[in-house]
Amino acid sequence: MSTRSRIAIAEKNEAGIITYRSVYVHFDGDLVNETLTKHYNSQKLAEQIVKHGDISSITEGEIKRYRDYGDAWVTIRPRLSCNMEQLIKITKENDGQYLNVYQAGEWKEYRL
């Protein structure tokens, strides 16, 4: 059985409002934060993770993406959330147990 999660980036718009862009992660949600913190701990890397859509699994050396399996972009593209409550809601809609957010130069893990 998989432990699902979500990876998000906090973004501040011109008005100073924080929104979140995020992707679903199917496997090993309980290990995602450790992987992100050790191997993907920069704004540039966080953006690259989210940019390409939903993820099957993420490890130190590999990100398996659903786009590589031929899934339609419309179903795997990053989701935009207007606030943290909405981000938590979409995480739970996918039975997510963990939410990892890159904000202010660091990863923060939320257990749901």
Between β-strands 98-103 and 79-81, what pairing exists: parallel, antiparallel or unpaired? unpaired
Tens of each residue's pLDDT in the chain, 112 residues: 689 999 999 999 899 999 999 999 999 999 999 999 999 999 999 999 999 999 999 999 999 999 999 999 999 999 999 999 999 999 999 999 999 999 999 999 999 9
Give strand ranges (E) for the chain: 5-12, 18-25, 55-58, 63-65, 79-81, 98-103, 106-111
For residue 2, the model assigns a pLDDT of 87
Q: Where are the domains of the chain?
A: 5-107
CA distance 97 to 45: 23
For residue 1, the model assigns a pLDDT of 62
